[in-house]
Amino acid sequence: MASQALPVRGARLGRQLTSGPVPAGFVPAARRESYDTVRAAVLLLPGGDALSTRRRSPLAVAAMLPLGRRLVRAGRGEGIAAHVVHYRFRGWNGGHAHPAQDASWAVDEVVRRYGDIPVCLVGMDMGGRAALRAAGHAAVSSVVAIAPWLPAGTEPDPVRQLIGRQALIVHGTNDRDTDPELSYRLAERAKKVNRDVCRFEVHTDGHDLQDHRSEVAALTADFVLGTLLGRALARPVADALAAPPPLGLRMPLAVGFGRTSGLHH
């Protein structure tokens, strides 16, 4: 793919997923005070295609919104800002790794808007790969990769950028779109250079994790708010981080996770 053939297009942040959202890139004077209270940010990275220079997928963006709103509700009153990242292109596009580049740009934009705050990258499918790849940004403190797309037969993705970050990978064991064994292998390599890596398996669920959507959202909220705001992590998450491979990388996600902690709303 010749770089000169690519359309000229910029990535952008979607509206802040909080009460009283404002257009991306614009902070009215009346609302600047509320922006000053932001203590941490979550960037949501949608899925996409292996190769495509089309604009980002509205359906992929829409799929991130329920999780983003849930994270904001769970962190209500604690200064969490959440945005969906709108990629320049729908595809990963080989060595260009456009979504990972856009994720790094988005972290820079968060720092520009809100100051020096910790950022968590939360991605699904191709967005999970982008989150893992962009974790080396200095402002990123944690990463969540849900059913990450890690194509077989290619050079293994790097893991050293995860050093110093807390990382959670979640994958359905019946995923037919993205191979859960490949995410296990990446987690295994990452755990060798960074003990703060864990991986949960959602037994019998597929790529969209439809059957355990509430549990996956509760697990993500627990991890995001724990790593960004210093909340105590749920016991299964703390155990997974502390356990050596393979235990901490094949941790089963229990049915009903989060229901007793209030994270199921």
Could you read off the pLDDT of 73-132 as tens digits, one per residue?
999 889 999 999 999 999 999 999 999 999 999 999 999 999 999 999 999 999 999 999
pLDDT at 28: 45
CB atoms within 10 A of CB 252: 13
Residue 246, preceding bond cis, omega within 30 degrees? yes
Cα separation, 141 vs 225, whole angstroms: 11
Q: How confident is the model at residue 18 (pLDDT cuts 50, 70, 90)?
A: low
Q: Residue 142 pLDDT > 70, yes or no? A: yes
Could you read off the pLDDT of 20-65 as tens digits, one per residue?
344 444 444 434 434 458 999 999 999 999 999 998 889 999 999 9
What are the E-state strand segments in the chain? 12-13, 40-45, 80-86, 119-124, 140-146, 166-172, 197-202, 251-252
Torsion of CA 60, 65, 66, 68, to 10 degrees: 120
Helices (H), the chain: 32-36, 58-74, 98-114, 126-133, 180-193, 213-229, 235-242
| CATH of 8-18+31-252 given 3.40.50.1820, 3.40.50.10740, 3.30.1230.10, 3.40.640.10 | 3.40.50.1820
pLDDT at 42: 98
Give Cα 243 distance to the centre of its chain.
Answer: 22
Side chain identity, residue 107: V
pLDDT at 6: 73
Q: How confident is the model at residue 137 (pLDDT cuts 50, 70, 90)?
A: very high
pLDDT at 36: 53
pLDDT at 260: 59
pLDDT at 29: 40
Q: Which residue has the tokens 């595809």?
A: 91
Could you read off the pLDDT of 144-193 as tens digits, one per residue?
999 999 999 889 999 999 999 999 999 999 999 999 999 999 999 999 99
User: What's this model's pTM, rounded to 2 decimal places?
Assistant: 0.90
Cα separation, 103 vs 22, whole angstroms: 20
